[in-house]
Chains A and B, each alone.
Chain A
Amino acid sequence: MKAGRAVRDALVLAMLGLYAMPFFWQVLTSLKPDAQLLTLPPLLPARLTLAHYDAVWAKSVMPRALVNSFGVAVLTTAVAVVLGLLGAYALARLPVRGKGALMLGIVASTAFPQIATVSPLYLLMRALALRDTWTALILANTSFALPLVIWLLAGFFREVPEQIEEAAALDGATRFQTLRWIMLPLTAPALASAALLTFLISWNEFLFAYTFTATEASRTVPVALALFPGVFEVPWGDIAAASVLASLPPILIVVGLQRFLLRGVLAGALRE
């Protein structure tokens, strides 16, 4: 029985490894010398090379794009989490007129298609002279990150037993102090999840970035990858290297911080 189980476990792992094959193939491609890229078989190259990474790092806009993506994602997360936890706490625990409708509106806005808001936002950014700036992207990303964060966090705040807050109030704490010293530590894992999720979706965001950025000054990684230049023919090796670089933060988040991330994502979805 034990052996059978071990075999079955190994089989499942192998199949999942196969599932992730597209990505591993891309990693392999990024290490294949140019001469061996376009012929198949052989699958494995005779030797590995770092030339593609060198080309991407030294000669493309990816380094700058990585900085842009990182900055935009961090700042979006900061804005969304700070504003979101204040708003979520208010909606979860404080008296607000029309709370039900407000919550419904916020939840509904997480369903807004990006294509619906991109043309008005384009005109708005144009009017505010924010084209090709980080600010434009942060604002645009916040438009869908903030409702999501509020929704997730409100659910978590509601699950904290009221008695704890009542005790704090009896001790004379203000709402802000209750939030800061009681609620936050209690829901810290959920906050971390929400922050990581926001970072992830901000990093991966493409439509707004493609529309609102024009030069390397603010171009993010997905856009740089989509517009990767090729002179004679498509540089599959370089694109593969750039793809791998673009994937590192999301992979780190998902693999390293699995527990944190899953709690946020799953909890939000399961609490319907």
Chain B
Amino acid sequence: MRSERAVKPGRGGDHRTALLFLAPALTVLAVVTVYPAIWLFWLSLQQRIPVFGIARFAGLEHYQFLAVDARFWNAFRVTAVFAAASVALELALGLLAALALRAQRRGRRLAISLLLLAWALPAVVTAKLFEWLYHPTAGLVNYAIGGRQLNWLGDPGLALPGLIVADVWRTMPFVALLCYARLLGVPPEIYEAAQVDGAGRLAMLTRITLPLLRRVLLIALLFRTLDALRAFDLMFVLTGGGPAGTTETLTVYAYRTLFQTLQLGFGSAISVIVFLTVMAIAWVYLRALERDEAAA
């Protein structure tokens, strides 16, 4: 850990400089990031519907309602399933892709470009892409699986899997790159030595590669879980939360409440729950990472 002691000469001036340097960034952050976060909690305690001029303090009413709201619990379940399935698939596929890339001799730059394409696209573009792919009669997916006219985005049993596939497609490259970058730092002598010792491919994978990737996989797990919990763009544009709320995550439920009907208080309560869930999971993961680092 690099020391952060200030350079010795000019100590007093350094304090002032530090404040000067930090002030603009901190001011902006205070206004657009911190203040809104605090305000959100305050909003969630109010019943606020600007269209009808309603603004009154409501205490914990919204939370009490959400506790027994079937639509909320459905959204909670959808979010959990979406996050778990997406992250699991991304990690598995990303790892495979990274291993394949590592073994690549020629055309690595092209390979990475092809892979990163999916990651770079705006989520809205991805949504339109998959909306077209999932088209019942003219979509490539139905064509590829033998011409059955599955109604991917309209069937309550197929919409969520379809959404998860789209999300995995666009986020797997990130995990792959993370693992790939870590693998690049591994000297090939380790593998050569293992080969000399008579280790098979599988053993090399499980005994050398995976342990080396463990930390990176944990980091990827952290990032991707948080992103999956906060995801909005893809499901909003691809399915709008339908059909019948089978792809309505907490974020979509909150957004619809906030901006379709401008129920700012109630929608904020749902957002608070998303916020707390995300921060709680972030905290749990970070502790796990710390413990992992301490143990290493």
Across the interface, A169 reaches (CB within 8 A) one of B10, B178, B230, B237, namely B10
Q: Is the CB of B4 within 8 A of A99?
A: yes
Q: Is the CB of A247 within 8 A of B125?
A: yes
Task: Kindly supply a per-residue 1/0 record for chain A positions 254-272, scoring 1 wherever the CB is within 8 Å of any chain B CB and 0 otherwise.
Answer: 1100100010011001101
A and B contact pairs by CB, cutoff 8 A, 26 listed: A6-B106, A8-B103, A9-B106, A9-B107, A13-B111, A22-B129, A40-B143, A86-B25, A90-B17, A90-B21, A94-B18, A99-B4, A109-B29, A119-B258, A139-B32, A162-B7, A175-B17, A204-B123, A206-B124, A206-B233, A206-B237, A222-B122, A239-B128, A250-B120, A258-B116, A266-B181
Interface window among B57-65, B190-198, B275-283: B275-283
**For chains A and B in complex, what number of residue pairs have CB atoms within 8 angstroms?**
300
Question: Smallest CB-CB separation from B254: which chain A residue?
Answer: A115
Task: Kindly supply a per-residue 1/0 record for chain A positions 24-49, scoring 1 wherever the CB is within 8 Å of any chain B CB and 0 otherwise.
Answer: 01100100000001111101000000
Is A165 interfacial (CB-CB < 8 Å)?
yes
Q: Is the CB of B114 within 8 A of A270?
A: no
Across the interface, B105 reaches (CB within 8 A) one of A9, A239, A253, namely A9
Across the interface, A87 reaches (CB within 8 A) one of B25, B121, B178, namely B25
Chain A nearest CB from B98 CB (Å) reads 12
Known: A111-B282, A206-B237. 14 other contacts (CB 8 A): A17-B114, A40-B143, A90-B21, A93-B6, A94-B17, A169-B10, A200-B120, A206-B233, A222-B124, A240-B128, A243-B128, A254-B116, A254-B119, A269-B220
Q: Is the CB of B4 within 8 A of A23?
A: no
Task: Kindly supply a per-residue 1/0 record for chain B positions 255-279, scoring 1 wherever the CB is within 8 Å of any chain A CB and 0 otherwise.
Answer: 1001100001001100110110011
Chain A nearest CB from B154 CB (Å) reads 14
Knowing A87-B22, A226-B124 are in contact, say whether A114-B230 is a contact too (CB < 8 A): yes
Task: Kindly supply a per-residue 1/0 record for chain B positions 115-152, scoring 1 wherever the CB is within 8 Å of any chain A CB and 0 otherwise.
Answer: 11111111111111110110101111001000000000
Q: Is the CB of A247 within 8 A of B121?
A: yes
Q: For residue B259, which residues in chain A have a CB less than 8 angstroms away from its CB?
A: 122, 211
Chain B, interface SS category: helix
Question: Smallest CB-CB separation from A22: which chain B residue?
Answer: B129
Question: Smallest CB-CB separation from A103: which chain B residue?
Answer: B4
In the complex the two chains form, what is the Cα distance from A204 to B232 in whole Å?
13
Is B2 interfacial (CB-CB < 8 Å)?
yes
Q: For residue B56, which residues in chain A have a CB less than 8 angstroms away from its CB?
A: none
Q: Is the CB of A175 within 8 A of B13?
A: yes
Most chain B Cβ neighbours within 10 Å, of A143, A203, A253: A143
Chain B nearest CB from A170 CB (Å) reads 7
Is B3 interfacial (CB-CB < 8 Å)?
yes
Q: For residue B264, which residues in chain A have a CB less than 8 angstroms away from its CB?
A: 119, 122-123
In the complex the two chains form, what is the Cα distance from A21 to B10 in whole Å?
59
Is A186 interfacial (CB-CB < 8 Å)?
no
Chain A nearest CB from B256 CB (Å) reads 11
Is A5 interfacial (CB-CB < 8 Å)?
yes
Question: Smallest CB-CB separation from A179: which chain B residue?
Answer: B21
Q: Is the CB of A265 within 8 A of B177?
A: yes
Question: Smallest CB-CB separation from A240: which chain B residue?
Answer: B132
Across the interface, B123 reaches (CB within 8 A) one of A109, A162, A206, A269, namely A206
Chain B nearest CB from A16 CB (Å) reads 4
Is A91 interfacial (CB-CB < 8 Å)?
yes
Is A176 interfacial (CB-CB < 8 Å)?
yes
Task: Kindly supply a per-residue 1/0 record for chain A positions 116-158, scoring 1 wherever the CB is within 8 Å of any chain B CB and 0 otherwise.
Answer: 1111111110000000000000011011101100100000001
Q: Spell out B's residues near A (CB within 8 Å).
A: 2-4, 6-11, 13-15, 17-18, 21-22, 24-26, 28-29, 31-37, 39-40, 43, 97, 100-101, 103-107, 109-130, 132-133, 135, 137-140, 143, 169, 174, 177-178, 181-182, 215-216, 219-220, 223, 226, 229-230, 232-233, 236-237, 250-251, 254-255, 258-259, 264, 267-268, 271-272, 274-275, 278-279, 282, 289, 293
Residue count of chain A within 8 Å CB distance of chain B: 101
Q: For residue B9, which residues in chain A have a CB less than 8 angstroms away from its CB?
A: 169-170
Q: For residue A117, which residues in chain B have a CB less than 8 angstroms away from its CB?
A: 32-33, 36-37, 40
